[in-house]
Structure 1
Amino acid sequence: MSGRSSDVVIVLDDEHDQSHNRVHDEHESITGSHTDQQLMMTNHNNNYDDELRKKNKRSNSWHKLGRSDSLEVESGKVGNNHHHHGHGHAGSKAVDWSTILRLAFQSIGVIYGDIGTSPLYVYASTFTDGIKHNDDILGVLSLILYTITLIPVIKYIFIVLRATDNGEGGTFALYSLICRYAKVGLIPSQQAEDRDVSNYQLESPNDGGARRASNLKSKLENSLFSKYFLLFATMLGTSMVIGDGVLTPCISVLSAVGGIKEATSFMTEDRIVWVSIAILICLFLVQRFGTDKVGYCFAPLICIWFAFIAGVGLYNFIKYDPKVIKALNPKYIIDYFQRNKKQAWVSLGGVVLAVTGTEALFADVGHFNVLSIQISMCAVTYPSLVLAYIGQASYLRQHNDQVANTFYESIPGSFYWPMFVVAVCAAIIASQAMISGTFSIIQQSLSLGCFPRVKVIHTSAKYAGQVYIPEVNYLLMLACVAVTAGFKTTAKIGNAYGIAVVFVMTLTSSFLVLIMIVIWKTHILLVISFVLLIGSVELLYLSSVLYKFDQGGYLPLAFAAVLVTIMYVWNYVYRMKYNYELNHKISPDKVKEITENTKLCRMPGLAMFYSELVHGIPPIFEHYVANVPALHSVLVFVSIKSLPISKVAAEDRFLFRRVKPCEFNVFRCVVRYGYTDVRNQHESFERMLVDSLKGFIAEDLWLSEIDSKNGNLIENGGDHEDNADGHHKPIIERQYEDKEELEVVEQAWRAGVVHLMGENEVVARKGSGLAKKILINYAFNFLRRNLRQSEKVFEIPHKRLLKVGMTYEL
């Protein structure tokens, strides 16, 4: 392994990275033809002396710094072009207004279906026992207006949307941000250098904030409990969002279809339930086609829905009781609590349903940008919802007895059927958005080793975030059918829904407080104000929804308990397996001994050994050689690594290094993914890997040719490669070896590629406790046997797959 390729020197300034990037950019621009290559070499020579002087200037201090394997240092370093290049990325600059307005229009169909259909059931879920006092309507209206102003608008639109991870939002985005700024991640492949990936370079506004951030960061990093708690909170938030994916279709479709009983007595409650189930089954069956094929009609339909509810609301407001506008006075909230006391607190579980789907604002920001979502919320969604709730309140002031079905009762007679059709369409769209969001968040947890392996299908070439997971889709469908058939009414489902909604909001606020202190270094008074204003309101709502635990509220907590258990079991064993491989990795001397063994037969072809181990050669290699005394002409040890960033650019996906001795053509490769990257792309994984390997060798050859044009750098203190006996190799000899190596790889590729994976039997080691044995021997192995294996996730051809059986005693 050459000095340039085998080792890396840790440099304490940015000069080396800048010079490397210039060389790399020039190399990328000349790969088209040999003529262009020669031209670029000539142009490069003009600046090469400057680069050489910089190298020589540092060479005296390099020996004082430790040398380490370049993969261990550089595997976390990717370029600054890992941005999400989807339409209207949040981090993009100079987006024209026409694009912003187009994105704002599109976001209406994707993001606001859930919160937009809330008027179907909010008043019915709040006044479950009927209206006791006419002014109670004003108190509840005041609560609704201030809640949708405080949480969706103030908290999410103007505060939370600032906490995007390079344009991506959601629970994992917040967790990944915290992991990058503090060493709190428990995923074993993360390294300190991974934090350099982030484009967030936030300056401290004051020394006090910096000291506070440093103290909290230190406490988090030194507390194992904090690390586990953050991971658990992330898993819990993810589980609650998945619970939303089950409950949103149930309550939205059931509420919309339930309106038909106002038009005909033929539709009994049981028949409404069965019609709703039929719609839900159809909805899940079409998921495999992808939302991209029907997505173009979402935004117009939701816009029509908002126009309808705003128009009907305005009509009712003018016709029945314009005086409800006095509900803007928060005094009516105080009066409502004084009159109803405990029952008023319990009714908050219904009021909070007015902000269902708010988390989608944050989770789906990666498909649009912050400004477009702010415009669509403030210009369309918020005014329409305010008019809808005010109009229903005006109607209820004169029709107290019709609160159980307020939405449809308040519709003018001739407008009923158009509203019914649009309501059902809006409910289906709201369900579609939450189902798609569930797929996305499972994909993120899968990439961070927090979810069992499932197949992720990319359904759209246009929108990177649109994915489909077959196993999860059918499990969600069964859960939705069971919930709808079991609960039958929106009242009980509403109790369950409220807990899932408020839990996710509270967890988001908790993560946001950490980000405010550690990353943004916000003034402490602003942090306290946020906690007192937003946090206290959310905790009040949380206490209310938990009160209805036995009235359906147990459902999302039961979902979450099952999902968190599955995620924890998988993540726990995932980390233990990694640590086992790390502790049993093969030393460089052992690799050299194996490859130099004259009894080993070298046959044509390229072999890829898969492992999640980033540090060193995995034990599967020695186990394979002990059973099969033959090696292919080229060996590549492939390590899969998930970085705590949203996306890794294709040109930064693969990182190669040689393994000594170089003449045996052994390489290590780290394949890097962000948590929103889809791994099974349409292009062959092995084709991309081999092309990148040849590019790595060609780049090394090109740099050697540049060196030879400028004289032997060894005499000037530059890069060199050591022979086995410790003497330096001439650059010409290194060039010859690089060219030969390139030909060997090409011949190996033509001879065929073989994929080798460990068929690991994981068991608890002797002497382990009962809990550990149950967790590993039964729970984990049950999940592993019933879910997809790695080769299916990476779409490895079955005919060219070899599995090496190993037993890991953890």
Structure 2
Amino acid sequence: MLGGEADRVSIEDETETTKEITEKKLKDRKVSWAKLRRVDSLNLEAGRVSMNANHNSKVGWSVTLTLAFQSIGIVYGDIGTSPLYVYASTFAKGIKNNDDILGVLSLIIYTIVLIPMLKYVFIVLWANDNGNGGAFALYSLICRHIKMSLAPNQQPEDMELSNYKLEIPSSQQKRAHKLKQMLENSHFARIILLLLAIMGTAMVIGDGILTPSISVLSAVSGISTSLGQNAVVGITVAILVVLFSLQRFGTDKVGVLFAPVILIWFIFIGGIGLYNLFKYDIGVLKAFNPKYIVDYFKRNGKEGWLSLGGVFLCITGSEAMFADLGHFSVRAIQISFSFVTFPAILTAYIGQAAYLRQFPDKVGNTFYESIPDPLYWPTFVVAIGAAIIASQAMISGAFSIISQALSLGCFPRVKVVHTSANHEGQVYIPEINYMFLIGCIVVCVAFKTTENISHAYGIAVIGDMLITTTLVSLIMLVIWKKSLWMVSLFFFVFGFIEILYFSSQITKFSKGGYFPIVLAMFLTMVMGIWHYVHKERYMFELKNKVSTEYLRELANRTDVHRVPGIGLLYSELVQGIPPIFPHFIASVPSIHSVVVFVSIKTIPVNRVALEERFLFRQVEPREYRIFRCVARRGYNDVLGNPAEFESQLIQNLKEFIQQQDFMLEVNEGAATTTTSEQLVVSTAINENDQMQDISGKEVKPRSNNSSGRIIPSHGVSSDSIRSLPASVRKSSNFYEPIIIQGPEEEIKFIDKATENGVVYMIGEAEVVAHPNSSILNKIVVNYAYSFLRKNFRQGEDSIAIPRKRLLKVGMTYEI
């Protein structure tokens, strides 16, 4: 809770008269609190939440079928274009035995059945976070049920959110409960869990670079025989430049074309597959017998194992079904994959196998060679469109997951542009877009062929799959509370298959497989460093928060002025007054007539309802009109423009003042009665606030000999002073409290302060390593983090604060 423990009044055995009075007041104020339960001054909105959690599983069939159709264009572009290059990548050295075609086809069939169909469509999709998928969605889901977050900013009020859906393991389920406690008490487990989420994100980013490269290059390779490979690479680069130039418009602008194009693509490859099957060799259907897999490995030994790297490419894009789940629903994905995607791609692979049984020497360009002549150019054109759509979907998915990482403090600040008002999660990140473009061009020019790119491509995908398997297994064990044998079966069966494929892919490290591994290590290091300093900075502020005694001393100072207006001081701290506040007073000896300490906090849920977003507490004494506010957001929430956010905050502040007065009235009227439903009213901040870290242990403020220090830095910018309202610069009012009676007068005072202007205050804190810290800590903080901070966006840019009303105070934290 904000500020720690507060005064609490318990009410038990409430009399009928008191109940009637309470219900009448509630009705008169038009607040639906008929079933008050554990309400306090930080969570007065808890009784009027809107249950806006994802309920796509309960929608009608017409909506589900519509979503299923739309998902065809967004989700399956990647896996749908895999038939362009799988056989060429698998038989890189040619086909030595005709029966090897049956063995590879059998591997393809059962790989598709086990991984995308069984694992993702019927198991992993259910491990969603209110309808959202991806590594950070899994991480958020786990952190809600197990206290695994490294930053100790959890609050009891968070559990009251309508999207939280928290179910704590009961004492009867000893295994889940014991594992939960063990994980919560292990700092190492927290670090490992965060690293898994970060590495999963890094793999998706690598996929976002490799997917456009291999998809477009393989589609354009249909004209390689007439123009040559260099021309194909040049055309591919030109298409990629156009593709990334269009990203700023968002997928919503062209999304209406996606589903029809991919559906036409599936019709084409499915129809061509059936044509080749009946024309060339219907006997390839024998590949449904898994004995051909055994025979294949017996004949080829090590070569057969190495060829698994090419076979694996038939399921690239499977993770997109989970990552893009937020746009659709579980049922929609299940229907579209089972009845459209699965039969189309399976028929395409079977048809190509039938063609290769007759023309094994044409394996280098199997897809285009197997197309009937009248359909060649129409298929070529549709293939280009499908490849672009596959690239678009993967790029958008990478943008979305980076946005989630940014919200959870695991990625340097970048500009996130929400491109669609109709579809959640569709974002555009300019800086990342240009990095992706450069990366794709480098990959195409350096690797030149789909075979070379495939060596790198598979490792990025299989790495993400292994992380998903691990996180879902933990969810099955602790949250779903499945039996140990079921969890073991899931983990070891799918883990064995994926490790087998990974072992084959890793042998191609020197041939291009190093690219995603090096990229993932680099991105993991960047995100890890950023989150480490982010967490240490928060811990520093938490341990050095300002005591309420300082405010009492401040009230007695005659050199500090109250000026008209509202001051919003931004801080990440959700408990107590941030240590930067005294430096504002020292730099500008003035304080606004209304002060709000604002903390924008990301909750481990996808969305927070608007009516649940703001939590307020008033700093005592009340006549000083100093408040603290936590503005809660989900990792998919948009803060909105500054004017809208400012309006929402002030409106909720006024509602808080009304509700606080009402709750005090209820408290006074029912102080001598009790009820079985406990009503808790928090009224003030206790100066002896106690803090707890995520393991439940008390965190005591630092003593004078603390290893961390706050050092005043470069003070207040003169431009910042000139940009403030004239009332701030010219006021001569002393810091004298104005006693206001009643909430109506208090709200009028807030309105008047709003008319005088709202000023935003931010501490521009430079973080440096403590002189006595280790060499590694100095390198991480003073060089790596400093470089990232200076070359990415600043705090005021990421939350879109108007510069003309911005006041910054510089200071240095030593951690």
Bin for the TM-score computed over the shorter chain: 0.7 to 0.9
Tell me if 1:237 matches 2:200.
yes
Shift of 1:720: 8.6
Q: Residues 682 and 328 (structure 1 numbering): CA distance in 2 closer, same or farther, change over 3 Å?
A: farther
Contact 2:49–2:611 (Cα < 8 Å) also in 1: no
Judge conservation of contact 1:8–1:70 (CA < 8 Å) in 2: no
C-alpha contact (below 8 Å) 1:455/1:788 kept by paired residues: yes
Determine if contact 2:151/2:538 at 8 Å carries over to the other structure. Answer: no
Q: Secondary structure at the match of 1:233?
A: helix
Q: What does residue 663 of structure 1 align with? A: 623
Q: Any idea what SS the aligned residue of 1:761 has? A: strand
**Are 2:787 and 1:782 aligned?**
yes
- Picking from 79, 86, 103, the partner of 1:122 is 86
Distance in 1, matches of 2:107 and 2:681, equals: 72
Distance 1:285 1:714, change over 3 A: same
Cα deviations across residues 193-219 of structure 1 (Å, max 9, x unaligned)?
Answer: 645545545597995xx2221222122
1:188 to partner: Cα distance:
2.9
Distance 1:455 1:332, change over 3 A: same
**1:252·1:431 contact (CA, 8 Å) conserved in 2?**
yes
For residue 147 of structure 1, the aligned residue among 108, 111, 116 is 111
Shift of 1:795: 1.2
Q: Name the structure, 1 or 2, with higher relative contact order (CA <8 Å, separation 6+).
A: 2
The whole-number CA distance in structure 2 between the counterparts of 1:316 and 1:137 is 15
Partner amino acid, structure 2, of 1:771: L
Query: Would you say 1:252 and 2:252 are equivalent positions?
Result: no
C-alpha contact (below 8 Å) 2:567/2:596 kept by paired residues: yes
Task: Write the distance in 2 (CA, Å) between the matches of 1:8 and 1:250.
Answer: 61
Question: Are positions 1:685 and 2:645 aligned together?
Answer: yes
Partner of 1:222: 185
**Separation in 1, partners of 2:527, 2:454:** 26
Deviations 1:260-281, CA, capped at 9 Å, x for gaps:
234xx2x111111011001001
Q: Which has the higher helix share?
A: 1
CA distance in 1 between counterparts of 2:9 and 2:268 reads 63
* Paired amino acid for 1:216: L
1:568 paired residue among 503, 525, 528: 528
Matched with 2:593 is 633
Write the distance in 2 (CA, Å) between the matches of 1:725 and 1:182.
29
SS in 1 for 2:479: helix
CA distance 1:422–1:584, change in 2 (3 Å): same
The reply to whether residue 112 of structure 1 matches residue 76 of structure 2 is yes
Partner of 1:61 in structure 2? none
Q: In the TM superposition, what whole-angstrom CA distance separates every residue of 1:696-738 from its partner, at most 9, and x where no partner exists? A: 223334556x759xx8445658989989999xxxxxx999332
Aligned to 2:399, which of 436, 439, 451?
439
1:482 is the counterpart of 2:446: no
What's the offset of the Cα at 1:678? 2.2
Q: Is the 8 A contact 2:44 2:659 kept in 1?
A: no
Against the structure 1 CA distance between its residues 499 and 83, is the aligned structure 2 distance closer, same or farther, given a 3 Å change threshold?
Answer: farther
Alignment pair present for 1:461 and 2:466: no
Instruction: Give distance in 1, aligned partners of 2:57 and 2:104.
Output: 42
User: In 1, Cα distance between the equivalents of 2:187 and 2:463?
Assistant: 24
> Which amino acid in 2 is paired with 1:740?
E
With over 3 angstroms needed to count, the CA separation of the structure-2 counterparts of 1:624 and 1:660, relative to structure 1, is same
| CA separation of 1:25 and 1:539: change in aligned 2, threshold 3 A | farther
2:239 aligned residue (271, 279, 282): 279
C-alpha spacing 1:193/1:215, structure 2 compared with 1 (3 Å): farther
- Quick one: structure 1 residues 434 and 76, their matched pair in 2 at CA, closer, same or farther if it must change by over 3 Å? farther
Cα deviation, residue 533, structure 1: 2.0
Contact 1:6 1:659 in 2 (8 A): no
Q: Which of 316, 319, 324 is the equivalent residue of 2:276?
A: 316
1:240 maps to a residue whose letter is M
1:531 Cα deviation after fit: 2.4
**Where does residue 384 of structure 1 map in the other structure?**
344
Mark the CA change 1:497 to 1:683 in structure 2 (over 3 Å): closer, same or farther.
farther
Counterpart of 2:176 (choices 213, 216, 239) is 213
Is 1:577 the equivalent of 2:545? no
Residue 34 of structure 1 corresponds to which residue in structure 2? Answer: none
Q: What is the CA distance between 1:26 and its match in structure 2?
A: 9.1
Structure 1 residues 204, 523: closer, same or farther in 2, change over 3 A? farther
Spell out, residue by residue over 1:470-521, the C-alpha distance to the aligned partner (whole angstroms, 9 max, x if none).
Answer: 1111111111111111111111110111001111111100111111111111
Q: Which residue identity is paired with 1:808?
A: Y
Deviation at 1:6, TM superposition (A): 9.5
Note if contact 2:164-2:605 (Cα within 8 Å) is conserved in structure 1.
no
Deviations 1:631-667 (A, max 9, x none): 1100000011111111111111111110011101100
Q: Distance in 2 between matches of 1:555 and 1:341?
A: 27
Partner of 1:801: 806
In structure 2, the CA distance between the partners of 1:164 and 1:723, relative to structure 1 (3 Å rule), is: closer
The amino acid that maps onto 1:542 is F
Over 3 Å counting, the alpha-carbon distance change for 1:326 and 1:205 in structure 2 is farther
Partner of 1:100: 64
- Aligned-pair CA distance for 1:313: 0.2
Gap change, CA 1:205 and 1:803, over 3 Å in 2: closer
SS in 2 for 1:416: helix
- The aligned residue for residue 766 of structure 1 is 771
Q: Which amino acid is 1:350 matched to?
A: G
Q: 1:694 to 1:472 in 2, by over 3 A?
A: same
Contact 2:45-2:612 at 8 Å conserved across structures:
no
C-alpha displacement of 1:407: 0.4
Cα distance in structure 2, aligned partners of 1:340 and 1:362 = 35
Partner deviation per Cα, 1:92-125 (whole Å, 9 max, x = no partner): 4641111111000000000000000000000011
Equivalent position to 1:159, from 123, 129, 133: 123
2:132 corresponds to 1:168 = yes
Q: Which moved more, 1:347-356 or 1:523-532?
A: 523-532
1:428-467 CA-to-partner distances (Å, cap 9, x unmatched) read 0000000100110001000110001111111111112111
User: When the two structures are superposed, what TM-score results if normalisation uses the length of structure 2?
Assistant: 0.87
Whether contact under 8 Å (1:187, 1:448) holds in the other structure is no
In 1: Cα distance, 2:480 partner to 2:10 partner: 28
The 3-state SS of whatever aligns with 1:760 is strand
One-letter code aligned to 1:261: S
Q: Distance in 2 between matches of 1:126 and 1:521?
A: 40
Give yes or no for contact 2:144–2:166 (8 Å, CA) kept in 1. Answer: no
| Alignment-mate amino acid for residue 189 of structure 2 | S
Deviation at 1:745, TM superposition (A): 1.0
Aligned counterpart, 1:181:
145
Shift of 1:685: 2.0
Summarize deviations over 1:600-649 as a string: whole Å, max 9, x none.
Answer: 11110110110000110001111111222111100000011111111111
Contact preservation (8 Å) 2:6, 2:685: no
> C-alpha separation between the residues in 2 aligned to 1:107 and 1:23?
50
Partner residue in 1 for 2:719: none
Q: Distance in 1 between matches of 2:23 and 2:571?
A: 28
Identity level (%):
52
Specify the code of the residue in structure 2 equivalent to 1:481: I
Name the Cα RMSD after superposition: 3.2
Letter aligned with residue 462 of structure 1: N
Corresponding letter in the other structure for 1:415: L
Partner of 2:714: none
Match in the other structure for 2:313:
353
Residues 584-595 of structure 1 correspond to what in structure 2 (within 5 A)? 584-595=544-555
- Matched letter for residue 762 of structure 1: V
d(CA) in 1 for partners of 2:594, 2:137: 39
2:246 match: secondary structure = helix
Q: Distance in 1 between matches of 2:774 and 2:183?
A: 29
Residue 730 of structure 1: aligned partner: none
Q: Deviation of residue 599 (structure 1)?
A: 2.5
Aligned to 2:98: 134
Asked if 1 retains the 8 angstrom alpha-carbon contact of 2:455 and 2:512, the reply is yes
What is the rounded CA distance, in whole Å, between the counterparts of 2:10 and 2:304 in structure 1? 63
Counterpart Cα distance in 2 of 1:537 and 1:281:
37
- Taking a change above 3 Å as real, the CA distance of residues 77 and 597 of structure 1, as seen in their structure-2 partners, is farther
State the alpha-carbon separation in 2 of the partners of residues 158 and 132 from structure 1. 37
Q: Which moved more, 1:423-432 or 1:482-491?
A: 482-491
Conservation of the 8 A alpha-carbon contact between 1:165 and 1:174: yes
Residue ranges of structure 2 left out of the alignment (5+ in a row):
688-737
| CA contact 1:620–1:758 (8 Å) conserved in 2 | yes
For 1:535-574, what per-residue CA distance to the aligned partner results, in whole angstroms no more than 9, with x for missing partners? 2111111111111111110101111111111101110110
Contact 2:417 2:429 in 1 (8 A): yes
